[in-house]
Amino acid sequence: MAIDVSELRSRQLSPAIESEVDTYEATVESYLRGEVDEDVFRVFRLNHGIYGQRQGGHSQMVRIKVPAGRIVPEQLEMIGHLAATYSRGWAHLTTRQNVQMHFVSLEDTPEVMRLLASVGLTTREACGDTVRNVMGCHLAGACPNEVLDVSAWAQATAEHFMRNPLSQRLPRKFKINFSGCAVDCGQAMFNDVGVVAVSRPRDDGTTEAGFRIFIAGGLGANPHPAQVLEDFTSREDLLPTIEAALRVQDHFGNRDNKLRARMKWLVDTLGMEELRARIAKERKFLRASATWPGGIPETVRTDGDDPAGTGGDLENVPGMTPVTISSSDPFRRWEQANVVRGRANGSVSAYAYARLGDITTAQFDALAELQRDLDLDIRITNRQNFALRDLTEDQLPELHERLGEMSMAEPGAELARDVVSCPGADTCNLAVTQSRGLADDIGTALDDAGLAEVGGVRINISGCTNSCGQHHVADIGFFGWERRAHGRAAPGYQMLLGGRLGDTEVEFGSKAAKLPAKQAGRAVVRLVGRYADERDAGETFRSWLERSGGAAEVGRTLDDLSEFPDPETHPDFYVDFHETGPYVKETGDSECAT
């Protein structure tokens, strides 16, 4: 079913959204006439989700917010149409459940916003010092272990803070994530506010479902683990607690130094006990505010939050134990790696694998048709794939066949080939290496070595220290940096090993080796091969790493790959992936730091 763009253009948008886009368009026109200062326009543009690229000029990245990753057919088709019409014919899924399109002309962004609004999507507050896209576990409502389905809670939180005056000019960006259980597929443990569904016993012997809230986490160049705000927060108090935390960050966050402005730095300046006390005080008197959001949100009352799981038992849950593939049949191999079944409600879900998180217009259209035909719920995952939910067992063979026709049926969930990467120096001002090129090279190297389907290994890559690729929490993580060898600049990476997220804990990877970009793939093949050969049954990568001497000791086994050869005999080591000329470290002003 082809999208009818002319019909969508004729749709009446809400007066508030129409006015917002009109104002944005008028401001763009004023800027192009030289009537708006560059620094003022940058802040305005970012708050509308439009991000400058390293190419300069009028090339822009458009970031589309998808709360909890939940997306419907018309939206998939619209993004596919926009990617073909205004971008490069494909869009990119991010680690925060957004969709990004690159190389969109600034002059075209108002039309893009209107078309997105016609299908219920927005770029508003996707960038800038705002409340960013509210994330939720992609298996919420289908997870075999969840305590509550957090889908409606994430949506209600997104609705509460969208265009909220509190959210427009914070000291720094503010990130909120939801997980339905301690496995923490929603990544609560390294965000400004992380919410995990838990239960506690009542005096009468029953249990009460609610939340444990973690605060002041973050990645970046200086990662901080989130810390518990309080042991239990009731469902009625959840939104007031999140708003209180946001208000404390707004009041006390550092507005003079963007590098120390995230909530994680308040732990260093105030101390955790004082930070907790200030949030509790803010919440106590929040009822007097016009924005008091207490009680069960209407979205939750309407959609419900009953769990698919039974809670508590973390055995054999994706993310906690390595996936293993034992069959030679293509369908069975895909089923073993990519299908998840809920315990309590009998739900069946499956992953559609997107290499490097890239989705073409044809794939967007095919996914939309599949969603309609099988009546699916589709969520974007934080590993840059799609979770296809509300399946029946009988639909799995057809689903596998149709995903194969889209080139999205590789067994990918939790397997080594599922490499995550930020956009890197392809478009980002801060990146110093082509992280996407490395991700592609690693995936190819693992395939060639027969190791792409090894379970229990997560590989993440960032093109700089800022961890947009979440390298800190990967089993094998890389961040790009400039190396000097034989008097020449060269692309290199720092490898980290042993990052872990789960059981409401986060441990960041430790430095293991410094490598030329062109040797990183060989290093990964060597490590994944060792892990596959030496691990005990069900053993995690981190457990194997500790048993093998830790990151530094294992890193020393890669010393032979760490040196740069002579540039005259191996000139390719001095050219980054996807580049044709000698490597040059080129960075620009950070859009995120304004």
User: Using the 8-state DSSP alphabet, how is residue 429 labeled?
Assistant: S
User: Using the 8-state DSSP alphabet, how is residue 98 labeled?
Assistant: -
Closest to 390 (Cα-Cα) out of 447, 335, 340, 338? 340
Residue 214 contacts residue 196 (beta carbons within 8 Å): yes
Residue 217 contacts residue 174 (beta carbons within 8 Å): no
The CATH topology of domain 5-118 is: Sulfite Reductase Hemoprotein; domain 2 (3.90.480)
Cα 157-250-16 angle, rounded to 5 deg: 50
Res 592: pLDDT: 58
In Å, what is the CA distance from 101 to each residue of 123, 129, 185, 363, 508?
A: 11, 20, 25, 15, 30
Nearest-angstrom CA–CA distance, 537 and 539: 6
Res 4: pLDDT: 85
Closest to 66 (Cα-Cα) out of 30, 93, 102? 93
* Amino acid found at 362: A
- Sign (positive or negative) of CA dihedral 48, 83, 367, 461: negative
Res 5: pLDDT: 83
Question: What's the CA dihedral at 411, 413, 416, 419 to 10 degrees?
Answer: 110
| Residue with tokens 């799995």, as numbered in its chain | 396
Pairing of strands 193-201, 176-179: parallel
Q: Which CATH superfamily is domain 135-303 in?
A: Sulfite Reductase Hemoprotein, domain 1 (3.30.413.10)
- Sign (positive or negative) of CA dihedral 487, 489, 491, 494: positive
User: Using the 8-state DSSP alphabet, how is residue 108 labeled?
Assistant: G
- 398: Cβ contacts below 8 Å, ≥ 6 apart: 374
Phi-psi region of 205 (alpha: psi -120 to 50; beta: other; left: phi over 0): left
- 1: Cβ contacts below 8 Å, ≥ 6 apart: 73, 77, 368, 369, 372
| Residue with tokens 């007031």, as numbered in its chain | 240
SS3 423: coil
Pairing of strands 420-421, 459-462: parallel
Q: How many residues does the chain have?
A: 594
Cα 91-119-75 angle, rounded to 5 deg: 35
Write down the pTM of the prediction.
0.94
Domain at 420-593, CATH from 3.30.413.10, 1.10.3720.10, 3.90.320.10, 3.30.465.10: 3.30.413.10
- 562: Cβ contacts below 8 Å, ≥ 6 apart: 513, 514, 515, 516, 519
Nearest-angstrom CA–CA distance, 442 and 448: 10
Closest to 525 (Cα-Cα) out of 549, 557, 550? 557
Q: Supply the angle between the helices 15-32 and 38-47 in degrees, to the nearest 10.
A: 150
Tokens of 210: 């609610």
pLDDT tens for the chain, residues 1 to 594: 578 888 888 888 999 999 999 999 999 999 999 999 999 999 999 999 999 998 888 999 999 999 999 999 999 999 999 999 999 999 999 999 999 999 999 999 999 999 999 999 999 999 999 999 999 999 999 998 899 999 999 999 999 999 999 999 999 999 999 999 999 999 999 999 999 999 999 999 999 999 999 999 999 999 999 999 999 999 999 999 999 999 999 999 999 999 999 999 999 999 999 999 999 999 999 999 988 999 999 999 999 999 986 654 444 444 445 566 667 799 999 998 899 887 666 789 999 999 999 999 999 999 999 999 999 999 999 999 999 999 999 999 999 999 999 999 998 776 899 999 999 999 998 999 999 999 999 999 999 999 999 999 999 999 999 999 999 999 999 999 999 999 999 999 999 999 999 989 999 999 999 999 999 999 999 999 999 999 999 899 999 999 999 999 999 999 999 999 999 999 999 999 999 999 999 876 667 543
